[in-house]
Structure 1
Amino acid sequence: MLKRRQFISGLAAIGGSYLLSACGGGGADGGDNSSGSAATEAKAHAAASANGTAIPPASSITDSTGAVWTLSGGVVYRNGAKAGNTYNVTLISYYGNTIYSCGTGGQYYAWNGSGWVASLDPRMGGTSAEGTTLPASPYIIDRANDVWTLVNGVVYRNGATVGNTYNVSLVLWYGGKIWLCGTGGQFYVNVDQRNLKAQWLPSSDPRIAAAPAAGMFYGVNGHFDYTYTPAQLVSLVKGMGCTTYRVGCTAQPNQIYAVTKIAQAFQSAGLKLFVLINQGVTDANGRLYANEVAAYLDNMAGAKTIATALAPYGVTMYECGNELTRQDATVVDFSYAGALAVDFNNTNWPIMRGAMRGMIDGVKSIQPTAKCGINFCVADIGAADALWEGMQPDGTSGHQPLRWDITTWHNYAAYGDIFAIGSDGKGPAFDLPTYCKARYGVPFMITEWNTGPEETESFRASYITSQLTEFYAARKTHNIQSVMYYVLDSGNNTYGIMINGTPISQPYNAFTAFTSAHPDN
């Protein structure tokens, strides 16, 4: 027997505007005891009952397979045989080709073909429509089938309060997240909808469209040590219809020299160079820094050296570190999506924070108006939020908040659709750019994107078209400033779009066809 949950009847008790009455609960997991006789199988050709048919008042329900369902003495029968282990059932209903049972406790169960699984009342309609609000609607159902209500200014999930809320005037379902707004007009977002103690973090209204300045939407990644001359790079980037080129650089003289030459050529050609300061949580010998101060000082020195060299040649944008949340020292488990702060290493967190702070401060000391980005992967809003709020992964606060000018993200096919990315690697999805737009209020860049290295040219071409279509459609609503394909030339056809200056035909043609047909304006 499944443990009964009575949140529907509980909601009815706390919310006067709740429209659906509780009907009790009863239902259990269990096997189908039907004998499957020839006569029974013949019933499969009978017409299914109308959607919404219920017992009572009906005496039976015929499902889409022709099986006949009846209710007798509080027990559910399918084709005359007990359907699992049920008792005290007061209602059987048929919605969306699914049989539901409900007992005196108010809990609904759905028949999955072999047993009963807990569910919501099917009359509630499933996941709420995008933009549903409370109190305009009596409730919101999220993608995890949790029911949210608003009673006397307090927010409830399944009848229990969520954090410490009061004077709430609006609850919003948008982008796969629950948001609230108080009487003062400030919006907040719930960071972990399954956790009743989860924080509500400040944000703007996620429904407000935001559009960054045009002129750098299409981009591509490259490397400082290509054999291409700077002039050849300019030609190749322009030929792809791109205006932005992302390249990594450390404070090593040979790298600075190479990137400086590229910057000179790009400045003359009117193209934008987005420089990745390729430093992080380890020193030049690959050793983890001893503490936050050491990480800060060394990264600051390197960033100052890079900015000093590149500032005269029109470089005004820097990405401070590459996938630092996804190092052995910083993530607890690489399979974690990163949606929660606890997904990250609490001990080494200060070192990562110090490295990021050092790079930003190093650039700003040379170029106060330069734009600095911090890079994340997968669904790393847990890391981004903790850095932004000055928190540790263990929840302790009071540390210096980190502020960046650009939110940058990597989105490979294996991570999932960035507009519907898994919140914990397998849970309900959410719109990540919408979340970042509302939380941090700065432009968003996807600085690496591609499918897997094992895919065929035709698959990669199709992926390029579908991704660019999605990115382009969202650029003016989700504050997406640039999307940078990875990579120009990988020396083979695993990631690159060309080899030694020769285009890999299908991916290249797909990319250039899109950029030529969809102007960056």
Structure 2
Amino acid sequence: MLMAGAGSAALAACGGGGDIAESGADVTGVAKAATTSASPDGTVIPSATSIVDASGNTWTLVSSRVTKNGAGVATGSSSPLSLILWYGGVIYAKNSAGTWYKNGSTWTSIGTVGPRTTAAAAPAAAAPLFYGMNGHMAYGTGIYKTLGPAAQLAMLKDLGVTNYRADVASDGMAQVIADALRGPFANSGVSILPVLNPLSCGWSPNASESTSYTLGYNLAVGSTKVLKGLVKYIECGNELDVALKISGNGSEYNHWSPTMWGSFRGVIRGMIDGVKAIDPTINCGVNVGIPMAYGALQMLWRGVTPNGTTAGLSNAAAIRWDFTTYHWYHSSGDILCGWNNNACQDVLQVLKDSFGKPIWLTEWGWTGGVDQGQTAADYVTKTLTEYRSIKDKYNLQSVMMYCMIDSSYGLIQADGATKNPAYAAFKNFVAANPVS
């Protein structure tokens, strides 16, 4: 079945394939537009007679069939086509039965809800964000790719998850998320948190601050253009602090590399600026991955550069974000009692006092390879109980478990089907403890 589908897709992409409603039509020649000026966003045929896309291709509707530069296009519809729409940089077609089709590497059906409706409705339809989950929706290979967005959404809905974190390192990965938000995730009550990952697109902690700024800015601009209007939150970076710690646990300024700091600061500042340049209404979050590395966040916030002293050097512009994100795993103990200088340190209180912003734990989970079976399930129940009980005290808005599918950390094993005992623990807790 999969092989047949792949063959049909390849044939259609090469201009072949046969659609019941699209064979034998009399297609008049329409040359590719001489100008590359695209039609206004939202242009519809009819009443327009043609649409020019961003690449200068001319689209028309002739004898109930879509044409591109005068050649008939196979959309996959079994009913006559009645409408073509240019929206959000994408060509869509609607047939007489009310089903929409989206142009891409191949045409795909997106159901009976049009893209203009889903794009507007997706953010507003989001449920409370508290119960979250990590996944890798935009990966080009592996189980997440095999399952696809609709199957992942079904798992999330079964668990009671309302906030799904997915990494983005290119415009193409952002497009996968955008397609999901316009498709299966539209009006589902499950939002997606894109996390920009410059480590996956060439960022080096040894680069100059200006080079890193440009890389972060370009990544954010490209991704946000694709996601604008679909997401309210973007996390800028993922555990970029790890390579910079040269001593201690990360809580003090002199624990951090003076030579690498500029690159770290630059890429984060670039990502925030890039997101805001495209859509200033999107909220940006910043994280660290080392358990006690709040010292790095404090330096960014206060405009301090490490110089080997406990005070650092106050010589940089302060960086501001809209929500503080943090990672905490079982191996680090209890986040309310992080061990620092032989004393119990309430890390959430430090984050609240330092930045005064909502807190998201964008990764939490058991210790992979150590916690298994019922031990992992018990940890999930215990941790969710704690986080729910303290969410209002610390303005803890979302806790996103790592992760849905993984051989060591997943509620579901790497085959994408076998559920670990922790799956039921998570699901049962959420069902019994709703958050409004």
| 1:326-475 to 2 correspondences below 5 Å | 326-327=242-243, 330-333=244-247, 336-377=248-289, 378-394=291-307, 395-424=312-341, 427-454=342-369, 455-475=371-391
Pair 1:287–1:480, CA change in 2 (3 A): closer
Q: 1:273 aligns with which of 189, 192, 196?
A: 192
Corresponding residue SS for 1:268: coil
Contact (CA 8 Å) 2:252, 2:295: kept in 1 or not? yes
- Amino acid paired to 1:291: S
CA displacement at 1:468 relative to structure 2: 0.4
CA displacement at 1:252 relative to structure 2: 4.9
1:263: which partner in 2? 181
- Amino acid paired to 1:260: A
CA displacement at 1:303 relative to structure 2: 0.4
Corresponding residue SS for 1:498: coil
Pair 1:286–1:437, CA change in 2 (3 A): closer
1:304: which partner in 2? 221
CA displacement at 1:288 relative to structure 2: 4.5
Corresponding residue SS for 2:287: strand
Measured in 1, the distance between the counterparts of 2:268 and 2:235 equals 10
TM-score of the superposed pair, with normalisation by structure 1: 0.55
Measured in 1, the distance between the counterparts of 2:155 and 2:221 equals 30
Pair 1:240–1:324, CA change in 2 (3 A): same
Residue deviations 1:166-205 (CA, integer Å, cap 9, x gap): xxxxxxxxxxxxxxxxxxxxxxxxxxxxxxxxxxxxxxxx
CA displacement at 1:268 relative to structure 2: 3.1
CA displacement at 1:338 relative to structure 2: 1.1
2:118: which partner in 1? none
Pair 1:437–1:288, CA change in 2 (3 A): closer
Pair 1:446–1:288, CA change in 2 (3 A): closer
CA displacement at 1:316 relative to structure 2: 1.5
Q: 1:236 aligns with which of 155, 164, 179?
A: 155
- Amino acid paired to 1:409: Y
Measured in 1, the distance between the counterparts of 2:392 and 2:365 equals 22
1:514: which partner in 2? 429
Measured in 2, the distance between the counterparts of 1:287 and 1:215 equals 36
Measured in 2, the distance between the counterparts of 1:405 and 1:286 equals 23
Contact (CA 8 Å) 1:244, 1:271: kept in 2 or not? yes
TM-score of the superposed pair, with normalisation by structure 2: 0.65
- Amino acid paired to 2:147: Y
Contact (CA 8 Å) 1:409, 1:447: kept in 2 or not? yes
- Amino acid paired to 1:303: A
CA displacement at 1:286 relative to structure 2: 5.8
Contact (CA 8 Å) 2:171, 2:222: kept in 1 or not? no
1:221: which partner in 2? 134
Corresponding residue SS for 1:414: helix
Percent identical pairs in the alignment equals: 33
Measured in 1, the distance between the counterparts of 2:340 and 2:324 equals 18
Measured in 1, the distance between the counterparts of 2:225 and 2:130 equals 26
Measured in 1, the distance between the counterparts of 2:149 and 2:264 equals 33
1:321: which partner in 2? 237
RMSD between superposed Cα atoms in Å: 1.8
Unaligned runs of 5+ in 2: 1-125
Corresponding residue SS for 1:229: helix
Measured in 1, the distance between the counterparts of 2:274 and 2:202 equals 21
Pair 1:392–1:287, CA change in 2 (3 A): closer
Measured in 2, the distance between the counterparts of 1:400 and 1:470 equals 36
2:409: which partner in 1? 495
CA displacement at 1:309 relative to structure 2: 0.3
Return the structure number with greater helix share.
Answer: 2
Contact (CA 8 Å) 1:337, 1:422: kept in 2 or not? no
CA displacement at 1:463 relative to structure 2: 0.4
Measured in 1, the distance between the counterparts of 2:203 and 2:298 equals 28
Contact (CA 8 Å) 1:289, 1:295: kept in 2 or not? no
Residue deviations 1:412-443 (CA, integer Å, cap 9, x gap): 1112211110125xx21211111211221110
Corresponding residue SS for 1:216: coil
CA displacement at 1:516 relative to structure 2: 0.5
Higher gyration radius (CA) = 1
Residue deviations 1:211-235 (CA, integer Å, cap 9, x gap): xx98110000000221222111111
- Amino acid paired to 2:313: T
Contact (CA 8 Å) 1:303, 1:359: kept in 2 or not? yes
What is the aligned residue count? 297
Measured in 2, the distance between the counterparts of 1:505 and 1:340 equals 39
Unaligned runs of 5+ in 1: 1-212
1:4: which partner in 2? none
CA displacement at 1:503 relative to structure 2: 4.6
1:43: which partner in 2? none
Contact (CA 8 Å) 2:206, 2:260: kept in 1 or not? no
| 1:74-223 to 2 correspondences below 5 Å | 215-223=128-136
Residue deviations 1:247-275 (CA, integer Å, cap 9, x gap): 0001252x233222223232331321111
Contact (CA 8 Å) 1:214, 1:481: kept in 2 or not? no
Pair 1:384–1:286, CA change in 2 (3 A): closer
Measured in 2, the distance between the counterparts of 1:398 and 1:276 equals 29
Measured in 1, the distance between the counterparts of 2:429 and 2:201 equals 41
